[in-house]
């Protein structure tokens, strides 16, 4: 998916009532299948930037065009549909549903948007979870898994529908070495097929030369 950013700006009002600019004039033309590293110190606005390009937030000014669609011109409902279909978002937190099994957590969002029959989705999820090393835990619940295993479920869920846009926000933070390696390999394996935006301090990603680096330097306190 080609992503075109033009003059992207986003500000927030802090607790004291002051308006602080977090994203300042970001422009880029990103080819389909590119690997984009998003860098900046803590508080530079990396998560805000990811929420903008995924349509969770709208910019104060500037435009985001993804696959020929200008996101701000879509209704909130249509942005939700676009994101569910096109975006695999790997959050810093897992966002798993505690009362659903691992396999149900992986397939439910895709069932809700009609990505395929439940049986087919479950077969794909089983294969993905096995590749990620947790194929023996399909009927367990999130609280029964380690932190690293839960993150692998989140990765399987995000990548299940082969999204054209992948956003990975510190996907290996706080993971043990073995889990971090598995998660990094799963994401990087899709380079060239999906456009990937990633923010990470993990050396596994740093060792791979990105096609583009977007450096953010917003004001502290926002991310």
Q: What are phi and psi of 150, to 5 degrees?
A: -65, -40
pTM above 0.75, yes or no: yes
91 — pLDDT class (breaks 50, 70, 90): confident
Q: In whole numbers, what is the pLDDT of the chain averaged over residues?
A: 88
Under 8 Å between Cβ of 194 and 165: yes
CB-based burial, 26-41: b 16+ in 10 Å, e otherwise: beeebeebbbbbbbbe
Output 71 or 159, whichever has higher pLDDT. Answer: 71
pLDDT tens readout for residues 159-207: 888 899 999 998 888 788 888 888 888 899 999 999 999 998 777 776 7
Q: Quick one: fold of 3-215?
A: Rossmann fold (3.40.50)
Within 8 A by CB and 6+ apart from 93, the residues are: none
CA 49, 114, 132, 182: dihedral to nearest 10 degrees? -20
pLDDT at 112 over 90: no
Return d(Cα 103, Cα 189) in angstroms, integer: 22
Distance set, CA 2 to CA 35, 64, 90, 181 (Å): 12, 11, 19, 28
């Amino acid at each position: 998916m080609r992503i075109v950013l033009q003059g992207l700006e986003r500000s927030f009002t802090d607790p004291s009532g002051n308006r602080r600019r977090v994203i300042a004039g970001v422009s880029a033309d990103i080819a389909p299948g590119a690997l984009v590293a998003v860098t900046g110190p803590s508080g530079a606005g990396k998560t805000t930037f990811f929420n903008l390009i995924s349509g969770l937030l709208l910019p104060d000014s500037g435009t985001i065009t993804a696959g020929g669609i200008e996101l701000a011109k879509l209704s909130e409902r249509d942005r939700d549909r676009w994101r569910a279909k096109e975006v695999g978002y790997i959050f810093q937190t897992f966002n798993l549903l505690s009362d659903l099994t691992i396999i149900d957590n992986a397939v439910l969002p895709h069932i809700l948007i009609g990505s395929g029959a439940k049986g087919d989705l479950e077969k794909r999820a089983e294969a993905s979870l096995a590749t990620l090393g947790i194929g023996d835990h399909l009927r367990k619940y999130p609280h029964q898994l380690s932190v690293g295993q839960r993150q692998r479920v989140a990765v399987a869920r995000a990548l299940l529908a082969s999204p054209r846009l992948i956003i990975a926000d510190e996907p290996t933070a706080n993971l043990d070495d073995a889990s971090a390696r598995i998660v990094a390999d799963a994401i990087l394996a899709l380079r060239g097929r999906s456009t990937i935006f990633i923010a990470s301090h993990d050396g596994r990603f740093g060792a791979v030369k990105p096609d583009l680096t977007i450096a953010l330097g917003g004001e502290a306190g926002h991310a």
